[in-house]
Structure 1
Amino acid sequence: MKLPAPLHVFNEGLAFLLEVVALVVLAWWGWQSVDPLALRLLLAVAAPAAAATLWGLFAAPKARIAVPLAGVLAVKTLVFGAAAVAWYAMGRHTWATAFAVVVAVNTTFATLDRRAAMHQRT
């Protein structure tokens, strides 16, 4: 299913926004999850840094390591799932659920759109 151009642009922009939100939520969770200040700082930096590193290595459009679609989706599930769980753990149950639903719909449309584009090129 190839998305019309305006919907494709909107979905890609939404995907980027969701990626940024996931990193912010992971940092926020890291800051709120422990007591000692040094550990807070470490977790607030390490959680989003780990997610960004995984994303850049395996899930980004220009990922350093090419993996099959299943691998890309696994990394996206891990990063977005961690953000949703972090939001839930902070007591933001509605936000966690809404985020997970929007991510699922966005990722589904993006995957179908990219697969259709790849089939048109061959």
Structure 2
Amino acid sequence: MTIIKLINQVLAFSLELCMLYMLGAFGYQTGRSIGWKYALAIGLPLIAIVLWGYFAAPKSDHRLPFPYLTVFKLAMFSTTAFLWFKAGHQTPAGIFMAFVLLSEVIALWLKQ
């Protein structure tokens, strides 16, 4: 059981990093001018980092309790997948969400 928990923690962290990449890439792709491209490519992941650090980081003083934390994570990941989908990357967005759901189901099963 310990190895499954460790693998799921690595998967969850990898998904968080993928979320930041996907938000940055989406921002760069949708910006109309070079200034907006860089502003969105930096700003969207930065907003996600601040929200995640405040509400979902394990050592945060404001970490959400169990049911709300799961809803928050799913909302962040789903928003990212939706934006990626709208940018024309349907297959990667679907694969990303499949791994998100797998990770969350395993986390609920192990009560992480």
Decide which moves more: 18-27 or 81-90.
81-90
Alignment partner of 2:32: what SS? coil
Alignment partner of 2:111: what SS? helix
Q: Counterparts in 2 of 1:1-122, with a 5 A limit? A: 4-114=1-111
The CA distance in 2 between the partners of 1:64 and 1:80, in whole Å, is 22
The CA distance in 1 between the partners of 2:14 and 2:73, in whole Å, is 14
Deviations 1:47-68 (A, max 9, x none): 1111111111111211230322
Unaligned runs of 5+ in 2: none
Decide which moves more: 24-33 or 81-90.
81-90
Q: Does the 8 A contact of 2:24 with 2:42 survive in 1?
A: yes
Q: Does the 8 A contact of 1:33 with 1:40 survive in 2?
A: yes
The CA distance in 1 between the partners of 2:85 and 2:64, in whole Å, is 30
Deviations 1:22-74 (A, max 9, x none): 00000000000121111111111111111111111111211230322122122
Residue 79 of structure 1 and its aligned partner are, at CA, apart by 1.6
- TM-score of the superposition, structure 1-length normalised? 0.85
- TM-score of the superposition, structure 2-length normalised? 0.91
- Which of the two has higher C-alpha Rg? 1
Considering only aligned residues, what root-mean-square deviation do their CA atoms show, in Å? Answer: 1.3
The CA distance in 2 between the partners of 1:35 and 1:83, in whole Å, is 20
Runs of 4+ in 1 over 4 A off after TM superposition: none
Greater relative contact order structure (CA < 8 Å, 6+ sep): 1
Match of 1:119 in 2: none
The amino acid of 2:109's aligned partner reads L
Deviations 1:59-92 (A, max 9, x none): 1211230322122122212221122012201211
Residue 93 of structure 1 and its aligned partner are, at CA, apart by 0.7
